[in-house]
Structure 1
Amino acid sequence: MKNKLDKVIVDLKNRQSIEPKLDLIISRLEKTKSLLSDNIRSLTLNPINGITRAYLDIFSDYEDPIINDLYFLEKEINAIIK
């Protein structure tokens, strides 16, 4: 999961030049990465809950493959918290 998280962060940073609104999504992903690195038990709420929808609100591109990655990460963090 950490590899996918790193990949998504890099992909979004590359797109950030054309869409500055991605900054919030990137910061939430980086916060999650930091929390996972420090201690999984520090996760009590999902800091990336809703990022898939937030991304779609910005781009409205349902065919973009990053949607699947964002959804996967969101669900994986939910599973860790439970």
Structure 2
Amino acid sequence: MSKREELEKQINIIENISFEKMTKDAIGRYHTLKSMHPEKAIKVISLIAQKAQEITNKITDEQFKNILLSIEPKKEFKIRRL
């Protein structure tokens, strides 16, 4: 098995663990994020998988957004006049 196949297999395992703890809306947001920003998606889903035993209720879409923001806070833009 190549490294790429092995990595994809590990990601699938992590996704399956995490999806059990997420609502349909949160899973949908994850798939959208994964198609646009795969690195961020893997960070978020890995964090959820690590905390899976501590999670009692399913993660909602709003909670998923908060987790995403905690991983990478919004950038501040400064507008300067010339």
TM range (shorter): 0.3 to 0.5
Kindly indicate which of the two structures has a greater share of residues assigned to helix.
Answer: 1
Q: Which structure's CA Rg is the greater one?
A: 2
